């Protein structure tokens, strides 16, 4: 079974801090994704990556950056955390190509105070 | 504008009945559509995929239909059980060769009462 592991289940940070969320997958998937999930808004794509060192902006990239130095690891960075970035963050991976199922981690619930 | 919409209200049904969830979309021409299940505090889990040239797909008690004319997918759970209670998400590819990217609906919460 594919396993996508997110480094923290719960995280509390202060406004203005630089925050790192880590995601690791163990199935050699080419694609990796970062979403945030908010009540009533569903899953919204922040960034995705289809290869090492490659990244594409999703629908809501403002205030975020990403890093993919190794195939199995995809990091989400909040450059200067703000309270409106309090959310559930979900990482996913999939094989290359269309019609591939995405495999999700269990999420990091991030609170910015 | 492009939209994907699911029943916004929670669906409450009695055990043993068939649950039907709706996913409507506008201004997309997806080649395929996927359904996921999400339990509280967990990430979504893939259930089924249906392609644009398939009218219907089945997997055990699950059935998905895809009507590209109506721009709608229906997700059915037959003989529902309390363990089927969860949020169900539909997702479609946005077309134009975006290599695995999906657009998700906001999900429908299903509650099956014993």
What is the rounded distance in angstroms from the CA atom of residue B99 to the CA atom of residue A87? 26
Domain ranges for chain B, please list them.
3-95
Q: What range does the domain containing A82 cover?
A: 4-96+105-112
Chain A residue numbers touching B93 (CB-CB < 8 A)? 98-99
Q: Look up residue A53 and give its DSSP letter.
A: T
> Residues with Cβ < 8 Å from B34, sequence gap 6 or more?
A101, B46, B47, B48, B49, B50, B90, B91, B92, B102
Assess whether pLDDT exceeds 90 at residue B80: yes
Range B11-25 average pLDDT: 96
Does residue A69 come out as left (phi exceeding 0), alpha (psi in the -120 to 50 range) or beta?
Answer: alpha
CB atoms B100 and A50 under 8 Å: yes
The CATH architecture annotation of domain B3-95 reads: Sandwich (2.60)
Most A CBs within 10 A among B34, B86, B100, B101, hence the mutation to make, goes to B100
Q: What is the pLDDT of residue B1?
A: 67
Q: Which of A40, A95, A105 sits opposite B43 (nearest CB)?
A: A105
pLDDT in tens, A43-83: 999 999 999 999 999 999 999 999 999 999 999 999 999 99
Chain B residue numbers touching A42 (CB-CB < 8 A)? 89, 104-107
Local confidence band at B97 (pLDDT 50, 70, 90 cut-offs): low
Assess whether pLDDT exceeds 70 at residue B98: no
Q: What is the pLDDT of residue A2?
A: 67
Q: Which residues pair with A12 in a beta bridge?
A: A111
Provide the CATH number for the domain around residue A52.
Answer: 2.60.40.10
Token readout for B61 is 């008690």
Of B69, B73, B71, whose CA–CA distance to B88 is shortest? B73
CB atoms B99 and A31 under 8 Å: yes
Local confidence band at B8 (pLDDT 50, 70, 90 cut-offs): confident
Chain B residue numbers touching A97 (CB-CB < 8 A)? 99-100
The total domain count for chain A is 1
CB atoms A104 and B44 under 8 Å: yes
């Amino acid at each position: 079974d594919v396993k996508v592991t997110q480094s923290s289940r719960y995280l509390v940070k202060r406004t203005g801090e630089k925050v790192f969320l880590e995601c690791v997958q163990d199935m050699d998937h080419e694609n990796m994704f970062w979403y945030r999930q908010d009540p009533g808004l569903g899953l919204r794509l922040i960034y995705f990556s289809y290869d090492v060192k490659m990244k594409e902006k999703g629908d809501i990239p403002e205030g975020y950056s990403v890093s993919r130095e190794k195939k199995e690891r995809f990091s989400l960075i909040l450059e200067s955390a703000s309270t409106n970035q309090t959310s559930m963050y979900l990482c996913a991976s999939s094989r290359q190509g269309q019609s591939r199922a995405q495999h999700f981690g269990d999420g990091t619930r991030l609170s910015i105070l | 504008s492009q939209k994907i919409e699911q029943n916004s209200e929670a669906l409450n049904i009695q055990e043993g009945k068939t649950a039907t969830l709706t996913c409507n979309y506008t201004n997309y021409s997806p080649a395929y559509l996927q359904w996921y299940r999400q339990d509280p505090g967990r990430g979504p889990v893939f259930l089924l995929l249906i392609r644009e040239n398939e009218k219907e797909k089945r997997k055990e008690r699950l059935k998905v239909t895809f009507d590209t004319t109506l721009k709608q997918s229906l997700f059915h759970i037959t003989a529902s059980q309390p363990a089927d209670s969860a949020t169900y998400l539909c997702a479609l590819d946005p077309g134009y060769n975006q290599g695995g990217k999906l657009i998700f609906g906001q999900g429908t919460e299903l509650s099956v009462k014993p």
